[in-house]
Structure 1
Amino acid sequence: MKQLVALILCLAAAAASADPVDQVLDVHVLPGFARLADETALLANAADAGCEERDPDLRAALNGALRAWAGVSHLRFGPTEAENRAFALAFWPDSRGMTPKALAGLIAAEDPVVQEAEGFAQVSVAARGLYALEFLLYDEGQAGNDPYHCALIRAIVRDSAGLARAMAADWHDRYAALMRAPGPDSPYRSRDEAMQELFKALGTGLQITADLRLGRPLGSFARPRPNRAEAWRAGLSLLLVIEALHSQRQLALLLAEEDAGLKARLTDAFDRALGDAAALDDPALAGVATPAGRFRVEALQQRVNEIRQVVAQELGPKLGVSAGFNALDGD
């Protein structure tokens, strides 16, 4: 019994003293991409079982895949960006309305490219991935359950599952080890550079949440844009904000692990934002079209920006890193 207690204490001490980069990889990054691979595999299974556009099981599986993506969408480096995987899996925002046009072109021509995985991987990213599937499953203008629609849905989910599987495998088999061992054979020359990459990912995620997930539907007071919200057709816009905030909260607290006071301030800031989000009761963020609804979404956006301030002004200096350029710069 004493030996068991000693072992437990030893493991607890080792966990407490684990390197922050290792902690983030083991607790946040690798499980997040494993979940994405699992959820897109379930999505592919659902499409194999039934590919009718209004199928509740298929829609539920897409819900799970989108939530999993929201949990890792801030990790826009390494395996996520390799071979254009992130754009192909999650082409959003679609500021030019390219997805409906790309899908309409395939459908009108009944393009046989949907029959071959390698061929489909070469079509426009606007016709691939989770948001293309959301359009097919929820847009009121999509008609019928004809064989070509079914083949297109199955091509998209097969492709999406392959992209997620490749990301997860690349992280597990190669890239995590490169982050753990900075040096001449790694993209990172030092532990600080690896830490900066993770800190930058946190800032990127919070920026996506504030400026894109909330900012795009807000538009301007004179011209709100509810139909620019993420996955608004599926009514998942607010849920994806909440999913992203939970994931970003986990990353922030892992990075702040050695400072109890900073962890408490970050916890309070995230809890305020998540509390406001939970009370919003506006699944598609359609309320931005009304003054009262807009005020509530703006208040949530301000909560997220308050988190960004704590991260930039306290967490960055504590870690000795800065945000630098991120994946959204220049967009």
Structure 2
Amino acid sequence: MIRMLLFPLFLAGMAAADPGNDILDAHVLPGFDRLEAQTQALSAMADAECDTASAPLRGAFADAVKAWTTVSHLRFGPSEAENRGFALAFWPDNRGMTPKVLMGLILARDQAVSDSTAFAQVSIAARGLYALEYLLFDDRIATAGTAEYRCALIRAIAADGARLAGDMATDWHDRYAALMRSPGPGGTYQSEAEVLQEFFKALRTGLQMTAELRLGRPLGTYDKPRSLRAEMWRSGLSLDLIRASLGSQRELALLLAKEDTDLQMELAAKFDLALETASRIDDPTLVGVANPSGRVRIEALQQRVNEIREAVAKDLGPKLGVSAGFNSLDGD
């Protein structure tokens, strides 16, 4: 209800500039600035207090993860360069590599943790936010080796993550935003339509991630639910990240639809229904997929997200004059 009351104000405040610039200024650049700030705060907290059970450290970790989630659908350009996005957020880990590589580092007391350049060459399975979750919340990893080495590893991962986020933010501000603001012959983008298609693909990528990965992986099948495949279940963030992703995808969708008030209202209503459905789920780690009453609520949320996906494909794409094309999840 609150969102719908505020929606006319959102419309009234939107500039007459082209949608690509609006998306950069209201969605992309603030999102990566926030990610940079939160990962820097996490690194500073790790330097000050690296006990795996530290509440302030865990809180800073949660803030950084949520900041990443709000830009995780923007998997092109600065996120794609040098595999920065994968290094910061290696998920899903279908082969269970993260705990194996982390344990190898801990048992060997690998000194890459003492050199940022060397650590940047470590397997991405042992870098980034998802590796840090194991160190802070997994009983086996969080007690392996010595406290001294675990502390050094936590600090190395946090500092590396802050560097990656900083590089992405800098790349957006100093280079990539300009490429999208000035499309033309010989450029990365030949026209404004190509810019919009990139953002449209990003929206579809985000919705696909939410429906098929964040919800679909733990849902598994009725006979074989897979709650331990939920994103960030160890830290209890699974449902929070679904809500964060939907909120960010909502923002992008409404910016893309800015020139059609009716379509904006349609998309806003569908996103708000999904967010309301999520708000009625009291299951932070989605463990309820294993029982009928919990499962039906999570399936209902997935259905709401799929309804958004259908509306985006059927109504928003044609309105923008763009096609879905391939996204970074196709073929995975």
How many residues are matched?
320
Cα gap change, 1:13 to 1:271, in 2 (>3 Å):
closer
Aligned to 2:297: 296
Give the Å deviation of 1:192: 0.5
Distance in 1, Cα, partners of 2:88 & 2:256: 27
Distance in 1, Cα, partners of 2:93 & 2:243: 21
Give the Å deviation of 1:294: 1.1
Give the Å deviation of 1:185: 4.5
SS of alignment partner, residue 16 of structure 1: coil
Aligned to 1:247: 248
SS of alignment partner, residue 217 of structure 2: helix
Give the Å deviation of 1:186: 2.3
Distance in 1, Cα, partners of 2:12 & 2:225: 52
Distance in 2, Cα, partners of 1:13 & 1:58: 40
Distance in 2, Cα, partners of 1:213 & 1:282: 14
SS of alignment partner, residue 233 of structure 1: coil
Percent sequence identity over aligned pairs: 62
Aligned to 1:17: 16
Cα gap change, 1:192 to 1:301, in 2 (>3 Å):
same
Aligned to 2:7: none
CA offsets per residue over residues 182-227 of structure 1, 9 Å max, x none?
Answer: 1244211111001100000000000000000000000111111101
Aligned to 1:28: 27
Distance in 1, Cα, partners of 2:30 & 2:280: 29
What TM-score, normalized to structure 2?
0.95
Q: Given the alignment of the two structures, is residue 238 of structure 1 paired with residue 239 of structure 2, yes or no?
A: yes
The one-letter code sitting in structure 2 at the alignment partner of 1:143 is T
The one-letter code sitting in structure 1 at the alignment partner of 2:143 is A
Give the Å deviation of 1:156: 0.2
Distance in 1, Cα, partners of 2:122 & 2:278: 37
The one-letter code sitting in structure 1 at the alignment partner of 2:321 is G
Residue correspondence of structure 1 range 107-146 to structure 2 within 5 A:
107-141=106-140, 142-143=142-143, 146=147
Aligned to 2:100: 101
Aligned to 1:57: 56
What do you get for the CA RMSD once the two structures are aligned? 1.3
Give the Å deviation of 1:243: 0.3
Distance in 2, Cα, partners of 1:275 & 1:105: 43
Q: 1:179 touches 1:186 (CA, 8 Å); kept in 2?
A: no
Aligned to 2:280: 279
CA offsets per residue over residues 95-129 of structure 1, 9 Å max, x none?
Answer: 11000000000001000011000000001000000
Give the Å deviation of 1:325: 0.2
Distance in 1, Cα, partners of 2:179 & 2:14: 21
Aligned to 2:194: 193
The one-letter code sitting in structure 2 at the alignment partner of 1:196 is Q
Give the Å deviation of 1:291: 1.4
The one-letter code sitting in structure 1 at the alignment partner of 2:122 is V
Q: 1:37 touches 1:164 (CA, 8 Å); kept in 2?
A: yes
Q: Given the alignment of the two structures, is residue 209 of structure 1 paired with residue 210 of structure 2, yes or no?
A: yes
Where in structure 1 are there 5+ consecutive unaligned residues?
A: 1-11
CA offsets per residue over residues 5-63 of structure 1, 9 Å max, x none?
Answer: xxxxxxx9995311100000000000000000000000001001110001001100000
Distance in 1, Cα, partners of 2:13 & 2:86: 38
Q: 1:40 touches 1:157 (CA, 8 Å); kept in 2?
A: yes
Distance in 2, Cα, partners of 1:291 & 1:102: 36
CA offsets per residue over residues 61-86 of structure 1, 9 Å max, x none?
Answer: 00000000110000000000000001
Distance in 2, Cα, partners of 1:138 & 1:329: 31
What TM-score, normalized to structure 1?
0.95
Aligned to 2:265: 264
Q: 1:210 touches 1:304 (CA, 8 Å); kept in 2?
A: yes
Cα gap change, 1:318 to 1:47, in 2 (>3 Å):
same
Distance in 2, Cα, partners of 1:213 & 1:24: 24
Give the Å deviation of 1:293: 1.0
Distance in 1, Cα, partners of 2:103 & 2:208: 32
Distance in 1, Cα, partners of 2:258 & 2:227: 38
Where in structure 2 are there 5+ consecutive unaligned residues?
A: 1-10
CA offsets per residue over residues 122-141 of structure 1, 9 Å max, x none?
Answer: 01000000000001100011
Q: 1:202 touches 1:251 (CA, 8 Å); kept in 2?
A: yes
Distance in 1, Cα, partners of 2:96 & 2:330: 21
Distance in 2, Cα, partners of 1:58 & 1:185: 47
Cα gap change, 1:17 to 1:60, in 2 (>3 Å):
same
Distance in 1, Cα, partners of 2:214 & 2:188: 30
CA offsets per residue over residues 132-160 of structure 1, 9 Å max, x none?
Answer: 00011000112166110000000000000
The one-letter code sitting in structure 1 at the alignment partner of 2:194 is E
The one-letter code sitting in structure 1 at the alignment partner of 2:76 is F
The one-letter code sitting in structure 1 at the alignment partner of 2:155 is R
Distance in 1, Cα, partners of 2:119 & 2:185: 37
